[in-house]
Structure 1
């Protein structure tokens, strides 16, 4: 076996497919996107080099800043609402025994295996101002005014609720897996020392979950920035640009307005924001770990 792995031809044959896939499927599209961001390419015909014109337009584009604000607001919702609840739920599930643990784990994860289109149209019916479930519940409590949840000032908060709810299962499952990998002996030692359940969670679970939290938070921010399908099916960014998100705005600029070069400018900004967020989070968690 050692002779095989010391053979250069074998090593190249094993490594080359991965390298080619990375170069052709990831690096090449990124480089092309960066190139087109300096052009006025419309998706058809020749691309004319325009220098930094697209980037100047981007900094003055109110729609872009609204979409970025909404994406960052969703990231805050993920980190401050979804993830604490997901971690607490995972810790509670870990304490359950027998079939109850598996049943509740499946129940919480069900929204993630349902089609995004089904989820979006389900919530459209819930938010419907005429016969929606939410307005009917409010009527049952004496509130007779019909609220247009997706067509008024409540639209962005309504969309955020759907997105936070829909992604809850993934976060919970990752935290659940992380908790399961913690040595039970540590909890037994904490119990012998007189620690309560809350103290064990704060002093044992949280410190040992830092690598999992780092991965989950990083994924949450990237997921918030590239959120598109649910938003597109719910509101398509409306009313106006009130529920516009970064990925959906990129799609509309590139494929609806045929501003392919400008769409690639947004994609380059998207990549840079993701890289900056990842580097910042790595530094924050590294300092905490140190």
Structure 2
């Protein structure tokens, strides 16, 4: 009996040691894995810190100075920010940004979603051709887009005014980009036209991921197509919709190239946007400190608008 008990004890001890050995190996493997992950992440974080956080810090510092970008400068505290509060051009720029956000969210996105839904029901060949047509503006150079629409809106040889005169609507043939009554609408049209393909592509890709079984089950329950989209498809692709809208907000805030190439903020600063105004203040008129203050406000407004949109999307999802 003693021999049997001893043998059993030896076997149990051996099993215990094997378990401990396996645990030690697993712990060591996890530690190596974490070290490897850290080794991959840390360089990226360092680059991100250097390329993002450091410039933001410098921008925040120069925003409280009267720097012209060179030479001596002095600390002026919050003077630049107080000036922004009374800056009519800044307020107009912000209004134009908010207007562009509203147009993209409430006009561009619904139309893109409806077209994407139609394309998802067409044959693969027809859908591919139409997707290509709709997406062409999105891949064109912004310089090409700006030149195209400047020529289209030209009051002398522009296609649009020629068509209006040809059908007897001479009163509507105006200088679209330099007329105070039409400049903002013309600029918004150019921006929406250029970015429409991206929204369409994202919505189409999202709709193609919706399982057909969900639609079939809803139809069996007697749901109509509007009900299927409202209660099944839209909730299913809600994360994509939120991502598209947040991207629209950020793109609207960053909008600069098309504005600068078409109107440069004119006429009379009516089509001014934050990006163009910031650039002009910091690098054209030499108000570097004020331009940096605008950039800080720009970042804060972008974050606030993005958070508002995200909270709104979460509320709708509930």
TM-score interval, normalised by the smaller of the two chains: over 0.9
Give the drift of 1:279. 1.9
Structure 2 spans left out of the alignment, 5+ residues: 1-24
Asked if the contact 1:237–1:248 (Cα under 8 Å) also holds between the matched residues in 2, the reply is yes
RMSD of aligned residue pairs (Cα, Å): 1.6
Matches within 5 A, 1:185-200: 185-200=213-228
Q: Partners in 1 of 2:122 and 2:73 — Cα distance? A: 60
Are 2:97 and 1:71 equivalent residues in the alignment?
yes
Give the drift of 1:56. 0.7
Q: Partners in 2 of 1:129 and 1:53 — Cα distance? A: 43
- The equivalent residue for 2:21 is none
> Structure 1-normalised TM-score?
0.95
Query: Which of residues 183, 207, 219 is equivalent to 2:211?
Result: 183
- The equivalent residue for 2:195 is 167
- The equivalent residue for 1:6 is 31
Query: Which of residues 239, 242, 248 is equivalent to 2:276?
Result: 248
Q: Partners in 2 of 1:5 and 1:37 — Cα distance? A: 46
Q: Partners in 2 of 1:4 and 1:96 — Cα distance? A: 52
User: Using a 3 Å threshold, how does the CA distance of structure 1 residues 176 and 132 change in structure 2: closer, same or farther?
Assistant: same
Q: Partners in 2 of 1:255 and 1:210 — Cα distance? A: 41
Asked if the contact 1:4–1:10 (Cα under 8 Å) also holds between the matched residues in 2, the reply is no
- The equivalent residue for 1:148 is 175
Asked if the contact 1:5–1:11 (Cα under 8 Å) also holds between the matched residues in 2, the reply is no
Runs of 4+ in 1 over 4 A off after TM superposition: 1-5
- The equivalent residue for 2:51 is 25
Q: Partners in 2 of 1:103 and 1:259 — Cα distance? A: 49
Give the drift of 1:9. 4.0
Cα offsets for 1:20-67 (capped at 9, x unmatched): 121011111111111111111111123321100100111111110011
Task: Using CA pairs under 8 Å that are at least 6 residues apart, name the structure with larger relative contact order, 1 or 2.
Answer: 1
Give the drift of 1:4. 5.6
Asked if the contact 1:79–1:220 (Cα under 8 Å) also holds between the matched residues in 2, the reply is yes
Q: Partners in 1 of 2:105 and 2:208 — Cα distance? A: 21
> Structure 2-normalised TM-score?
0.87
Are 2:147 and 1:121 equivalent residues in the alignment?
yes
Q: Partners in 2 of 1:182 and 1:165 — Cα distance? A: 27
Asked if the contact 1:127–1:135 (Cα under 8 Å) also holds between the matched residues in 2, the reply is yes
Q: Partners in 1 of 2:127 and 2:167 — Cα distance? A: 34
Cα offsets for 1:207-239 (capped at 9, x unmatched): 222211211111111111110000000000001
How many residues were matched structurally?
290
Q: Partners in 1 of 2:141 and 2:289 — Cα distance? A: 31
- The equivalent residue for 2:8 is none
Are 2:234 and 1:209 equivalent residues in the alignment?
no
User: Using a 3 Å threshold, how does the CA distance of structure 1 residues 61 and 184 change in structure 2: closer, same or farther?
Assistant: same
Please identify the structure whose Cα radius of gyration is greater: 2
Q: Partners in 2 of 1:213 and 1:287 — Cα distance? A: 13
User: Using a 3 Å threshold, how does the CA distance of structure 1 residues 20 and 126 change in structure 2: closer, same or farther?
Assistant: same
Q: Partners in 1 of 2:38 and 2:219 — Cα distance? A: 53
Cα offsets for 1:245-279 (capped at 9, x unmatched): 11011011111111111111111111111111122
- The equivalent residue for 1:287 is 315
